[in-house]
């Protein structure tokens, strides 16, 4: 997924509602920035509360081991304020270029790279379509499941078509998206935060005129429709809806039992 509102994302990690981040070091980075920029805590308070949060949410947390890492994260937090992106605009011309590949795997990968380039232009200050990527995360976001060597072959073919390029400095973790259109003319997709959870489904929905895909009625992220039973929620929201239904059934059952006891006593 792409992060548009970093402050909200960090708040979710702090409140343990956001389970996307698995790395302890990444969590420390977000927590220290949240305590500094959102809660206005000084460095001493930041360190103390970061340690308390980690003790609470990570078993076998060793403060001695993480002490310097937390202190370094607090120093870096002062130089890294949260960014906020209202939306990512994708134009019709950009989508036409992507669809011209006429290969779903390549199209989904190129769409994700385009979205990443537009996001990183603000989050990292990159210019000229530069995008930093991990091939594993790229394929995961694009919902591509292929052997490692085939992943690179897909990217190579896109480069051969001229839609991607390499930066002058030989960095294997960066590419240049050559067809970024930053104009507000003919915008076909206006991606919000929920859209960025399922970029592959969003692209396929556009390509298929919305057929086979819909948006979760709770969180708004794109979901793939079942051919047998239409879905209303994404998997995460479906689980939460089921928990709410269970709590409601239990509440009604208790009310019924209490009502029966009251009648018997009367």
What is the tens place of the pLDDT at every residue in 147-193?
888 998 999 999 999 999 999 876 678 999 999 999 988 999 999 99
Chain centroid, CA 115 distance in Å: 12
Q: Are residues 57 and 118 in the same domain?
A: no
Whether 214 is covered by a domain: the verdict is: no
Domain CATH number, residue 134: 1.10.10
**Confidence (pLDDT) at 58:** 87
CA distance 182 to 90: 8
Taking residues 241-254, report their average pLDDT. 88
Residue 50: domain span:
6-77
Q: Are residues 100 and 178 in the same domain?
A: yes
**Confidence (pLDDT) at 233:** 92
Residue 244 above 60 pLDDT?
Answer: yes
Domain final residue, candidates 30, 55, 77: 77
CA distance 141 to 149: 18
Q: Are residues 102 and 54 in the same domain?
A: no
Full-model pTM: 0.86
In which region does residue 102 sit, left (phi positive, over 0), alpha (psi from -120 to 50) or beta (all else)? left
3-class SS at 91?
A: strand
Q: Return all residues near 63 (Cβ < 8 A) that are at least 6 apart.
A: 51, 54, 55
State the CB neighbour count (10 A cutoff) for residue 154.
22
Angle, CA 54 vertex, CA 14 and CA 238 arms, to 5°: 45
CA distance 167 to 126: 12
What is the tens place of the pLDDT at every residue in 198-238?
999 999 999 999 999 999 999 999 999 988 888 899 988 99
**Confidence (pLDDT) at 113:** 98
Q: Looking at the 3D structure of the chain, how many domains does it have?
A: 2
pLDDT over 90 percentage in the chain: 73
């Amino acid at each position: 997924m792409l992060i548009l509102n970093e402050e909200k994302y960090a708040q979710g990690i702090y409140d343990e509602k956001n389970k996307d981040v698995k790395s302890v070091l990444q969590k420390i980075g977000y927590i220290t920035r949240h305590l500094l920029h959102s809660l206005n805590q000084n460095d001493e308070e930041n360190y103390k509360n970061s340690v308390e949060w980690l003790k609470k949410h990570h078993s076998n947390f060793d403060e001695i081991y993480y002490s310097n890492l937390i202190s370094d994260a607090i120093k870096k937090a002062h130089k890294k304020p949260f960014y906020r992106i209202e939306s990512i605009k994708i134009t019709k011309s950009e989508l036409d270029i992507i669809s011209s590949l006429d290969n779903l795997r390549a199209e989904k990968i190129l769409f994700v790279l385009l979205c990443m380039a537009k996001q990183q232009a603000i989050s990292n200050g990159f210019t000229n379509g530069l995008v930093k990527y991990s091939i594993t995360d790229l394929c995961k976001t694009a919902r591509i499941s292929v052997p490692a060597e085939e992943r690179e072959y897909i990217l190579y073919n896109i480069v051969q078509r001229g839609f991607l390029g390499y930066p002058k400095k030989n960095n294997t973790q960066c590419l240049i998206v050559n067809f970024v259109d930053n104009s507000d003319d003919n915008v076909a997709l206006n991606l919000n935060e929920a859209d960025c959870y399922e970029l592959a489904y969003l692209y396929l929905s556009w390509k298929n005129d919305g057929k086979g895909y819909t948006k979760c009625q709770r969180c708004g992220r794109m979901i793939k429709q079942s051919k047998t039973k239409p879905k209303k929620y994404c998997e995460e929201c479906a689980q939460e809806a089921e928990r709410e239904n269970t709590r409601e059934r239990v509440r009604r059952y208790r009310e019924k039992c209490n009502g029966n006891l009251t009648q018997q006593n009367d």
